[in-house]
Amino acid sequence: MKVQLQQVSEKRNILGSDSGIGHALAKYFDNLGFVVFASVLNKKGPGAEELKRSCSERLCVLQLDITSSSQIKEAYLNISEMVQNTGLWGVVNNAGILGFTADGELLPMSVYKQCMDVNFFGHVEVTKMFLPLLRKSKGRLINISSMAGGIPMPRFAAYGASKAALSMFSGVMRQELAKWGIKVAAVHPAGFRTCIQGTSELWAKQEKHLLENLTPDVKKDYGEDYIQALKNFLLDMPVHCDSDLSPVLDDVLHALLAKSPHGLYTPGKSAYLSLCTFCYFPLWFYDFFMGKMQSTKSVPSALKASEAKNKNT
């Protein structure tokens, strides 16, 4: 998509930028001449240090844990002081966590709550805090959701529900903020290779937490072999993800600068196809389609036993 870049240096953005898409966006917009306020979970972490080292002096790295009301307010006060009466042109809500990918029945409630805290409630609070600055500039609000926020996907119950909430919030904000001249967009990327999947050490810790919170009946029905296979699914995810983030960067740029931005962007392979399949085909076909895309050879223990029993009768 082609976008005119007049007076780019006057536009300002805030991003969740420790790693992945947010990190790439911060560098991308800094290179284009934007004044970037890059918020990070750890101001002394490697992601923040890399931004300070590789970007221009225009870029400002800010400490911001979006689950901390005090840090959100502090970031707002710092940015308000720097932008004064010009306001803020764009807020890009990007921070997110995936959690352990497993059947919804297996996930502890703590995973659901953590996903909602980071992927939804944190962004709502940031948005509410910074809207006065967007009103001054009649700027843009962009929420990075996920393909899993627009369509149901097996093993993404907690993550998908939190991203679906963010997508719905974006739609409502798009309608409500139009009267202020603020344009709102949701971005639903397909599978891109970022750090959201975490590390093998983190997966082992999450698997242990999952097993400790299962009731005896559920643990017996699914079996530890099945849960181990779920971890293998997580390990294999990066292989099927695209390392080229340029489709996401281009769409966010369009959402920020186009005179008439789209309300929804679906960058990446299969994102738009999957959404269309869900919206326009019968649900049984969509379920079959998704089952084929995400099928695994692993079967819960109770189902294995049932199948073996049926074969013997």
Q: How far apart are CA 25 and CA 19, in angstroms?
A: 10
* Whether 71 contacts 64, CB under 8 Å: yes
Q: What share of the chain has pLDDT > 90, as a percent?
A: 53
Q: How far apart are CA 8 and CA 28, in angstroms?
A: 12
Between 202 and 197, the more confident residue is: 202
Q: Where are the beta strands (DSSP E) in the chain?
A: 12-16, 35-40, 60-63, 90-93, 140-144, 183-187, 264-265
Q: How confident is residue 218, by pLDDT bands cut at 50, 70 and 90?
A: very high
- Give the CA distances from residue 53 to residues 26, 35, 37, 45, in Å, rounded to whole numbers and listed in that order: 13, 16, 15, 12
Q: Which range, 14-18, 42-46, 202-206, has the best average confidence (pLDDT)?
A: 42-46
Please give the single-letter amino acid code of residue 73. Answer: K
pTM surpassing 0.75? yes
Q: How far apart are CA 229 and CA 224, in angstroms?
A: 9
Q: Which of 28, 76, 159, 226 is catalytic?
A: 159
Residue 87: the pLDDT is 87
Q: How far apart are CA 77 and CA 221, in angstroms?
A: 52
DSSP 202-218: HHHHHHHHHHHTS-HHH
Residue 4: the pLDDT is 33
Mean pLDDT check: name the lowest of 7-16, 64-73, 174-183. 7-16
Specify whether 112 is catalytic.
Answer: no
Q: Is the pLDDT assigned to residue 15 strictly greater than 60?
A: no
**Given the structure tokens 């910074």, which residue do they identify?**
130
Tell me what the mean pLDDT of segment 148-164 comes to.
Answer: 93
Residue 129: the pLDDT is 96
Two structure tokens written together for 131: 């809207």
Between 43 and 173, the more confident residue is: 173
3-class secondary structure, 184: strand
Q: How confident is residue 3, by pLDDT bands cut at 50, 70 and 90?
A: very low
Q: Is the pLDDT assigned to residue 77 strictly greater than 50?
A: yes
Residue 251: the pLDDT is 94
Residue 246: the pLDDT is 86
Tell me what the mean pLDDT of segment 87-103 comes to.
Answer: 89
* Nearest alpha carbon to residue 95 among 150, 20, 5, 152: 20
| The dihedral sign for the CA sequence 160, 163, 169, 174 | negative
Tell me what the mean pLDDT of segment 163-192 comes to.
Answer: 94
Q: How far apart are CA 165 and CA 146, in angstroms?
A: 11
Please give the single-letter amino acid code of residue 34. Answer: F
Q: Is the pLDDT assigned to residue 235 strictly greater than 90?
A: no
Which CATH superfamily groups domain 8-301? Answer: NAD(P)-binding Rossmann-like Domain (3.40.50.720)
Tell me what the mean pLDDT of segment 209-213 comes to.
Answer: 88
Two structure tokens written together for 313: 């009768």
Q: How confident is residue 297, by pLDDT bands cut at 50, 70 and 90?
A: low
**Angle separating helix axes 69-83 and 122-137, nearest 10 degrees:** 20
Q: Which pLDDT tens digit goes with each residue over 236-278?
A: 665 666 678 888 999 999 999 999 999 999 988 777 888 888 8
User: What are the phi and psi torsion angles at 93 (to 5°)?
Assistant: -85, 110
Mean residue pLDDT across the chain: 85
Query: Cα 269 from chain centroid?
Result: 17
The side-by-side arrangement of strands in the sheet containing 264-265 is 60-63, 35-40, 12-16, 90-93, 140-144, 183-187, 264-265
**Torsion-angle region of residue 155: left (phi > 0), alpha (psi -120 to 50) or beta?**
left
Two structure tokens written together for 177: 């903020």
Q: How far apart are CA 129 and CA 281, in angstroms?
A: 40
